[in-house]
């Protein structure tokens, strides 16, 4: 049963905490230039004592909510495994995704399903599922489509099947060999009433969009490995890898439409555009792509904007979409969005750091790839501030012999990695404080733990 908070609960009126320095970072209001890394908070607990007036108000709200909720008691240092919290749902994720990707064309079927063979980290679906469960507490604020859709509804075409599967309208008598699998063949998932069928499908859609972007990304980056196996472009060639990615986006779009929620369609379609915009921005290291760029604050602003579009947008908008599908009140929707935005930025900053610090074997993909690809990411951008000689190397995208090693050495001697970690920690902290007014419980603990895991991850 989805737990309901009385409609007049204070939680409906709770403002979302926001920080006030948008002039510095347009995406998350974090200071972009700050003193050297300060000690980071290593442990987060739902029972943390807050000092501010805001925190006092939140604590009051939490107590109100706790009165009507079956809240799991949290004590001290409980180790939470976010994966376990939604393990039942995740068990079916790959199977359902493979069903969504089914094609009657055998080669397309194989290529499209290729990256679903090896288990990915499933970070995005995991976050959507945790967010769905963590926001199930919120009082409902029905939008345009108040009735929640059943499992069958989200598989039901909106258009007539004769139109949808009209591979050749002149031959309507023969069923299309490329049609989607029938509804009956489809969709197993557990009966967990705290996660709606639409939210579960959203989790699958996020993984489809992410995987499609990886298929394209590996072509752009000439990657030879992915998830400790040959990349799709290596295995099937660039053309098939690109087309498989396109096909995946097509199937993701169909599934998205069948959620029958225009606001959610708009959000996730925007994510697809954002991924392309971010990838485009990444082709240049600075806004005007000068030959001899000088470091400026604009360098970091540009990098963070690219990072948001390429990596955080999918997480922020899908967390927001999960709350919208749950018919949550606006304050909860904003909190989910803010959590996703900040966690997404932390995630990519750590990714950029690992590219300098972890071996390819441990990562399951080529390490040190960013510099080889000519990319100036956070560790180098921070190092560049105190090592202006890096500008020339950035300008020529580390293309001359010895450039990559020189850049790597300068980064190693600088505080670039430390500063990257500190900035990631700030975002992770912000993600946690965004959801601080959610009532204590397993799913909220899981979301907080994701922030800890993102900071600790080695792959
Ligand atoms: C991985 O980056 C790639 C992304 C996060 C997004 C890539 C986006 C595109 C290629 C645009 C096209 C988008 C769609 C939806 C088809 P990375 O190279 O930093 O990470 P990696 O080391 O895992 O390859
Ligand atoms: Mg790549």
pLDDT along the chain (459 residues), means of 10: 32 31 35 31 29 32 30 50 82 89 91 88 94 89 70 86 77 54 55 84 97 97 91 97 97 96 97 97 90 94 97 98 95 97 98 87 72 95 97 96 94 96 98 96 95 90
Q: How far is CA 91 from the centre of its chain?
A: 19
| Structure confidence at residue 160 (pLDDT) | 86
Nearest CA owner, ligand 1 atom 17: 217
pTM above 0.75, yes or no: yes
Burial class (CB in 10 A: 0-12, 13-18, 19+), 359: exposed
Ligand 1 in reach of 220 Cβ (< 6 A):
yes
Query: How does DSSP assign 66-92, residue by residue?
Result: HHHS-PPP--TT----HHHHTHHHHHH
Smallest-distance ligand from the CA of 282: 1
The pair of three-digit structure tokens given for residue 95, joined into one six-digit string: 């199977």
Q: Which ligand is nearest to the CA of 277?
A: 1
What crossing angle do the helices spanning 313-325 and 123-134 adopt, rounded to 10°? Answer: 30
| Residue whose CB lies within 8 A of the most ligand 1 atoms, among 219, 275, 377, for a mutation test | 275
- Is 340 a pocket residue for ligand 1 (Cβ < 6 Å)? no
365 touches ligand 1 (CB under 6 Å): yes
Q: Ligand 1: which atom is nearest the Cα of residue 366?
A: 22
120 lines ligand 1 (CB under 6 A): no
Residue ranges per domain, the chain? 11-37+85-456
CA dihedral 184, 185, 191, 193 (to 10 degrees): -70
Q: What is the CA radius of gyration of the chain?
A: 23
For the chain, the first-to-last Cα distance in angstroms comes to: 36
Question: Which of helix, strand or coil describes residue 198?
Answer: helix
Q: Which residues contact 422 (CB under 8 A, 6 or more apart)?
A: 34, 36, 37, 38, 40
The three-class DSSP label of residue 96 is helix
Pocket of ligand 1 contains residue 216 by CB under 6 Å: yes
Which ligand is nearest the CA of 216, by number? 1
For ligand 1, is residue 311 a contact (CB within 6 Å)? yes
Ligand 1 contacts CB of residue 221 (under 6 A): yes
Q: Closest Cα to atom 11, ligand 1: which residue?
A: 276
Query: Quick one: 260 exposed, middle or buried, by C-beta within 10 A (0-12, 13-18, 19+)?
Result: middle
**Fold of the domain spanning 11-37+85-456:** Farnesyl Diphosphate Synthase (1.10.600)
Alpha helices in 225-365 (DSSP H): 232-236, 238-257, 262-282, 297-307, 313-325, 330-357, 360-363
pLDDT at 85: 82
């Amino acid at each position: 049963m989805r737990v309901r908070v009385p409609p007049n609960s204070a939680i409906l009126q709770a403002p979302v905490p926001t920080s006030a320095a948008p002039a510095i970072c347009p995406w998350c209001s974090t200071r972009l230039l700050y003193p050297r890394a300060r000690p980071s908070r290593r442990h987060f607990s739902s029972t943390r004592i807050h000092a501010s007036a805001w925190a006092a108000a939140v604590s009051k709200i939490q107590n109100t909510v706790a009165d009507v909720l079956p809240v799991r008691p949290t004590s001290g240092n409980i180790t939470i495994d976010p994966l376990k919290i939604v393990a039942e749902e995740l068990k079916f994720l790959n199977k359902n995704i493979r069903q969504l990707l089914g094609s009657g064309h055998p080669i397309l079927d194989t290529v499209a399903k290729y990256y679903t063979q090896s288990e990915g980290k499933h970070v995005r679906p995991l976050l959507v599922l945790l967010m769905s469960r963590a926001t199930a507490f919120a009082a409902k604020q029905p939008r345009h489509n108040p009735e929640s859709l059943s499992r069958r509804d989200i598989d039901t075409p909106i258009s007539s099947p004769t139109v949808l599967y009209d591979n050749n309208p002149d031959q309507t008598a023969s069923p299309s060999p490329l049609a989607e699998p029938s509804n009956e063949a489809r969709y197993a998932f557990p009966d967990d009433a705290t996660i709606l069928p639409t939210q579960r499908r959203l989790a699958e859609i996020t993984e489809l969009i992410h995987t499609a972007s990886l298929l394209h990304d590996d072509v752009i980056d000439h990657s030879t490995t992915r998830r400790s196996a040959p990349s799709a472009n290596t295995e099937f060639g660039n053309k098939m890898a690109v087309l498989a990615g396109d096909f995946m986006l097509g199937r993701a779009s169909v599934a998205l439409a069948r959620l029958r929620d225009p606001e959610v369609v708009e959000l996730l379609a925007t994510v697809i555009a954002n991924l392309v915009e971010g990838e485009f921005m990444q082709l240049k290291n600075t806004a005007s792509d000068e030959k001899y760029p000088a470091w400026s604050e604009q360098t970091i602003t540009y990098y963070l904007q690219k990072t948001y579009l390429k990596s955080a947008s999918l997480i922020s908008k899908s967390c927001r979409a999960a709350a919208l599908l749950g018919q949550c009140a606006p304050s909860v929707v904003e909190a989910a969005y803010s959590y996703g935005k900040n966690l997404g930025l932390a995630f990519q900053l750590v990714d950029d750091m690992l590219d300098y610090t972890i071996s390819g074997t441990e990562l399951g993909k080529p390490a040190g790839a960013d510099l080889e690809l000519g990319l100036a990411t956070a560790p180098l951008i921070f190092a560049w501030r105190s090592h202006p000689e890096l500008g020339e190397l950035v300008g020529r995208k580390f293309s001359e012999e010895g450039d990559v090693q020189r850049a790597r050495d300068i980064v190693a001697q600088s505080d670039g990695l430390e500063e990257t970690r500190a900035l990631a920690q700030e975002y992770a902290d912000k993600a946690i404080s965004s959801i601080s007014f959610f009532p204590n419980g397993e799913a909220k603990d899981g979301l907080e733990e994701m922030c800890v895991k993102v900071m600790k991850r080695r792959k």
